[in-house]
């Protein structure tokens, strides 16, 4: 056991990422071409063509530092969300935004509130600054916003809310978020993490950036990793009022978003055809998945994201066991035992043939 560094850093459990395809091929002696990866909520269509072209063009200038202020990307985002440029912070993925918020607003010993079964990075970001985590029990695998508001104590500086939530896929309607924002004390920052916002059906979607106008303590966080298909490039952004944005910009690395990522994100933002194709595929794939779960009599949590959580057994070894049985068949999904959900697996929605391969492998795995 290392004795270097502060105790709160040594206490951090490392993030468990989805297994890369090459690693599974090596470990199980499989051909990479036959492996299906539905483990990291990536876009099954990959990078948009428009982004690929923009990156190739931007590659000519890679000898220079990126634009530290991300002018073109911020301009495009400002136009899209109808906010001034100085309301936007760019991140090296939205993971960066979540951490920047913790660094900017939480000191050692101060508290951060988040929900049980919410995104693993909230715990990491909290521990990284020596913060005290207040983890509020979930209701029906989703956020209990009333209990979260009640859990805010005198030392609380930050609250993370994921909507839709990962890994459970639960969704909080706009009216409940707004009621929550009204209850949170004005000095407590709320990070509303909307990594899957673009997958919401029109009747569920709402323009949360408009709330930023009303609530000076609100940070809305979005990403290009999921619906926009740019996970490998690492681009996310935050919308918040200038006082909050100014502090986040002091904490972030000056060149946290690289030139290729900036160019690709501008192109993707304007590629509505790509988003529509992804949303359609996702809705169809979700129906394909839950039809199979219903046929197999498996419990699942209704999802509003591009993934679904399914219970594959009643004992605490079930998730790990079925996961290995799937890996042997070349299907990579995400076990969620580290989230306290050892009976469950999280499956990203893929292309129809990928979903079908997973369903077939699942049937064999369950014997
Ligand atoms: C995937 C995800 C993110 C972060 O993704 P980045 O690639 O870092 O932008 C943030 N929040 C949630 C809930 C996620 O699932």
The 10s digit of each residue's pLDDT in 269-321 is: 999 999 999 999 999 999 999 999 999 999 999 999 999 999 999 999 999 99
- Cβ–Cβ < 8 Å for 222, 237: yes
Residue 166 has pLDDT above 80, yes or no: yes
Quick check: CB of 100 below 6 Å from ligand 1? no
pLDDT number for residue 128: 95
- CATH 3.90.1150.10 residue ranges of the chain are 7-46+273-366
pLDDT (tens digit, 9 = 90+) per residue, 84-138? 999 999 999 999 999 999 999 999 999 999 999 999 999 999 999 999 999 999 9
Helix (H, G, I), strand (E, B) or coil at 326: helix
Select from 193, 346, 348 the residue to mutate for testing ligand 1; criterion: most ligand atoms less than 8 Å from CB.
193
Indicate whether residue 119 lines ligand 1 (CB < 6 A). yes
First to last CA, the chain: 41
Name the residue of 15, 17, 90, 93 whose CB sits within 8 Å of the most ligand 1 atoms, as the mutation to test its pocket: 93
CATH of domain 7-46+273-366: 3.90.1150.10
From ligand 1's centre to the CA of 115, what distance in Å?
Answer: 16
Say yes or no to pLDDT of 206 above 90: no
Q: What is the pTM of this model?
A: 0.96
Hey, whose CA ends up nearest to atom 12 of ligand 1?
A: 195
Task: Locate CATH 3.40.640.10 in the chain.
Answer: 50-269
Cα 69 to ligand 1 centre (Å): 22
Secondary structure (DSSP) of 216-274: TTEEEEEESSSTTS-TTT--EEEE--HHHHHHHHHHS-TT-S-HHHHHHHHHHHT-HHH
Please name the residues in contact with 152: beta carbons below 8 A apart, sequence gap of 6 or more: 113, 134, 159, 184, 185, 188
Which atom of ligand 1 is found nearest the CA of 164? Answer: 13
Of residues 58 and 201, more confidence is placed in 58
pLDDT digits (tens, 9 = 90+) for 225-240: 999 999 999 999 999 9
pLDDT at 109: 97
Tell me what pLDDT residue 220 has. 98
> In the predicted model, is pLDDT for residue 162 greater than 80?
yes
Q: State which fold the 50-269 domain adopts.
A: 3.40.640
């Amino acid at each position: 056991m290392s004795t270097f560094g502060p105790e709160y850093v040594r206490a951090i459990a490392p993030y468990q990422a989805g297994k890369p395809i090459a690693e599974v091929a090596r470990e199980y002696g499989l051909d990479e071409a036959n492996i299906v990866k539905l483990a990291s909520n990536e876009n099954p269509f990959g990078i948009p063509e428009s982004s690929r072209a923009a990156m190739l063009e931007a590659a000519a200038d890679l000898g220079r530092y990126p634009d530290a202020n991300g002018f073109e990307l911020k301009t495009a985002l400002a136009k899209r969300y109808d906010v001034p440029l100085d309301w936007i912070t760019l991140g090296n993925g939205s993971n960066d935004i979540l951490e920047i918020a913790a660094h900017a607003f939480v000191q050692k010993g101060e508290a951060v509130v988040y929900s049980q079964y919410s995104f693993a990075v909230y715990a990491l970001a909290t521990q990284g600054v020596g913060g005290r985590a207040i983890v509020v029990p979930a209701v029906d695998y989703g956020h209990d916003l009333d209990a979260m508001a009640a859990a805010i104590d005198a030392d609380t500086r930050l609250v993370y809310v994921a909507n839709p939530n990962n890994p459970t896929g639960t969704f909080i309607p706009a009216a409940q978020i707004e009621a929550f924002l009204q209850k949170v004390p004005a000095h407590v920052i709320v990070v509303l993490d909307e990594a899957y916002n673009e997958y919401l059906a029109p009747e569920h979607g709402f323009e949360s950036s408009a709330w930023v106008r009303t609530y000076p303590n609100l940070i809305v966080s979005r990403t290009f990793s999921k619906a926009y298909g740019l996970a490998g490039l690492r681009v996310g952004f935050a919308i918040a009022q200038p006082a909050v944005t100014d502090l986040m910009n002091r904490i972030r690395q000056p060149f946290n978003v690289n030139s290729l990522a900036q160019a690709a994100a501008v192109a993707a933002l304007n590629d509505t055809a790509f988003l529509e194709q992804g949303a359609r595929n996702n809705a169809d794939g979700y129906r394909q998945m839950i039809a199979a779960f219903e046929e197999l009599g498996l419990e699942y949590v209704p999802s509003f994201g591009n993934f679904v959580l399914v219970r594959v057994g009643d004992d605490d070894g079930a998730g790990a066991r079925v996961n290995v049985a799937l890996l042997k068949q070349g299907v990579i999904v995400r076990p969620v035992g580290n989230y306290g959900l050892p009976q469950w697996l999280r499956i990203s929605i893929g292309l129809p043939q990928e979903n079908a391969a997973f369903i077939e492998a699942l049937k064999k795995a369950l014997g």
